Amino acid sequence: MVEIRQENKNDYEEIYNVVKTAFETAEHSDGNEQDLVVALRNSDSFIPELSLVAIKDNKIVGHILFTKIKIGNHEELALAPLAVLPEYQKQGIGSKLIQQGHKIAKELGYHYSIVLGSETYYPKFGYVPAIQYGIKAPFEVSNENFMAIKLNDTDAEIKGTVQYAKEFGI
């Protein structure tokens, strides 16, 4: 059984190690994802309710973070990073983290989440190329890897180039 809950201060060191370990074998990684989590946690873009851990066998085996971004004049979310320890991957833990994150994001009133990631993984959760919503990346990237999901209905025109938190270094 996997428990998904909001992180707390006692989790920080374990989360750091989970993220570092998960990205050591990742196909696309700059090796700094664990430091990005720390920087984002200390930023104005951090939303405590959207930093979640997955617990199995009495230890943290996964982590997900959604932080604030700007799309035009609208405050929305970026999913980054999602990390699951290699020995716990392909067991639905990442899926549970994403689904719980989306549920909380909806409750908090966010309309969109964007992600830079696998074109075969994230579409399972409803992510489509962000360009379909008129959302553009602030860097060169394939449309199939820069995706968005509409979390809540909105009549507002949310189009434009994403402005990430400065901690992303973009």
Q: Show the domain range for 47.
A: 3-168
CA dihedral 84, 59, 165, 24 (to 10 degrees): -40
Mean pLDDT of the chain: 95
Rounded-to-integer distance, Cα 64 and Cα 80, Å: 7
Q: Which residues contact 59 (CB under 8 A, 6 or more apart)?
A: 14
Which residues, in sequence order, are bridge partners of residue 52? Answer: 6, 64
Query: Phi and psi at residue 121, in whole multiples of 5°?
Result: -95, -55
Rounded-to-integer distance, Cα 64 and Cα 19, Å: 9
CATH number, residue 152: 3.40.630.30
As for how many domains the chain has, the answer is 1
- 43-68, pLDDT tens digit by residue? 999 999 999 999 999 999 999 999 99
- 10-26, pLDDT tens digit by residue? 999 999 999 999 999 77
